[in-house]
């Protein structure tokens, strides 16, 4: 054997001995994702990352395939044991997820918790797309989805023509027949109404308050906006207008009631541009 070959063999032998003395790094655990927010679940599907999902919450109703996932319950009432039974490595949440003790238990068990931006804006939607695309290793698809959303948003904005005075809008939340509330400032409904060129007649207070007949009549809304699920819970448009005061408003007298899917309207997810366009048509601030 030549000196060069002996040197090469010796070098390889030394390298093998050096490697043998080092602990081998374990391969990273495969992503197992549980979503505790319907909007985030929808983003995961739009990122073509649904194969990573091993569970979702009860607000994950779109697309239909999300309903086939194992359910972990309502996002505000998570059970750490229930979530851990799915062996997740990542939990997707929004600010309202809880209780805090359950989240802490999940962290202690080694589950990474990713909290999304809960602001009601197109900017928050884009931020959440990037957040999830990075976490789920779908960076290129995330960039493509962001570009799609920007183009759709610009097209929708171009269609909306402000009216003076702006249409007066009352948003009614009625997902249980005995819990009828109206939306004030700072809510997702308020943000959608303003984006669509409407005026929220209950913007004088923040959050949600129970429907009061006198206040509804005095507000004189031109359009009542609710949700498809709310109408189903009450029993239809007639049942909604039978609530105190609503039939006496201009919207009630003209039966101007609009009720789209709740997640599309209030979730600020990937369907935001399309849903805003449809809302603007219902308010008369965009052509049909």
How would residue 28 be classed by pLDDT, with cut points 50, 70 and 90? low
The torsion angles phi and psi of 215, rounded to 5 degrees, stand at -65, -40
Task: Give the per-residue pLDDT at 19.
Answer: 47
How would residue 14 be classed by pLDDT, with cut points 50, 70 and 90? very low
The torsion angles phi and psi of 100, rounded to 5 degrees, stand at -55, -35
Q: How many Å apart are CA 195 and CA 213, to the nearest integer?
A: 27
Please name which of 177, 173, 171 lies closest in space to residue 233, comparing C-alpha atoms: 177
Task: Give the per-residue pLDDT at 2.
Answer: 47
How would residue 10 be classed by pLDDT, with cut points 50, 70 and 90? very low
Q: What is the rounded average pLDDT of the residues 83-103?
A: 96
Task: Give the per-residue pLDDT at 217.
Answer: 96
Peptide bond between residue 63 and the one before it cis (omega within 30 degrees of 0): yes
Task: Give the per-residue pLDDT at 24.
Answer: 54
Task: Give the per-residue pLDDT at 185.
Answer: 97
Domains of the chain listed by start with CATH number: 33-157 (3.40.50.1980), 162-283 (3.40.50.1980)
Q: What is the rounded average pLDDT of the residues 78-87?
A: 96
Judge whether residue 11 has pLDDT over 80: no
Q: Which residue has the higher pLDDT, 19 or 95?
A: 95
Q: What is the rounded average pLDDT of the residues 72-101?
A: 95
Judge whether residue 45 has pLDDT over 60: yes
Task: Give the per-residue pLDDT at 6.
Answer: 45
Per-residue pLDDT tens over the stretch 250-270? 999 999 999 999 999 999 999
Task: Give the per-residue pLDDT at 21.
Answer: 52
Task: Give the per-residue pLDDT at 183.
Answer: 97
Q: Which residues contact 198 (CB under 8 A, 6 or more apart)?
A: 166, 167, 168, 169, 223, 283, 285
How would residue 226 be classed by pLDDT, with cut points 50, 70 and 90? very high
Per-residue pLDDT tens over the stretch 112-132? 999 999 999 999 999 999 999
């Amino acid at each position: 054997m030549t000196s060069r070959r002996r040197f090469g063999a010796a070098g390889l032998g030394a390298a093998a001995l050096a490697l043998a003395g080092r602990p081998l790094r374990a391969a990273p655990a495969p992503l197992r994702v549980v979503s505790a927010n319907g909007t985030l679940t929808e983003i995961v599907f739009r990122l073509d990352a649904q194969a990573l999902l091993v569970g979702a919450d009860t607000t994950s109703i779109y697309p239909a395939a999300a309903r086939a996932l194992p359910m972990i319950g309502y996002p505000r009432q998570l059970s750490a044991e229930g979530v851990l039974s799915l062996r997740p490595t990542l939990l997707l949440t929004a600010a309202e997820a809880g209780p805090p003790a359950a989240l802490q238990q999940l962290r202690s068990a080694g589950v990474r918790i990713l909290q999304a931006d809960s602001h009601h804006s197109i900017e928050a939607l884009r931020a959440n797309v990037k957040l999830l695309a990075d976490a789920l290793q779908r960076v290129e698809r995330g960039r493509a989805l962001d570009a799609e959303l920007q183009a759709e948003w610009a097209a929708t904005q171009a269609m909306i023509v402000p009216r003076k005075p702006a249409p007066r809008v009352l948003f009614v939340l009625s997902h249980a027949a005995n819990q009828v509330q109206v939306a004030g400032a700072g809510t997702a409904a308020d943000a959608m109404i303003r984006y669509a060129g409407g005026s929220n007649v209950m913007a004088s207070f923040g959050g949600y308050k129970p429907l009061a007949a006198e206040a509804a009549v005095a507000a004189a809304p031109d359009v009542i906006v609710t949700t498809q699920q709310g109408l189903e819970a009450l029993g239809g448009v007639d049942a909604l207008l039978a609530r105190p005061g609503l039939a006496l408003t201009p919207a009630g007298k003209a039966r101007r009631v609009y009720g789209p899917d709740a997640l599309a309207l209030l979730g600020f997810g990937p369907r935001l541009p399309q849903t805003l366009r449809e809302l603007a048509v219902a308010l008369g601030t965009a052509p049909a």
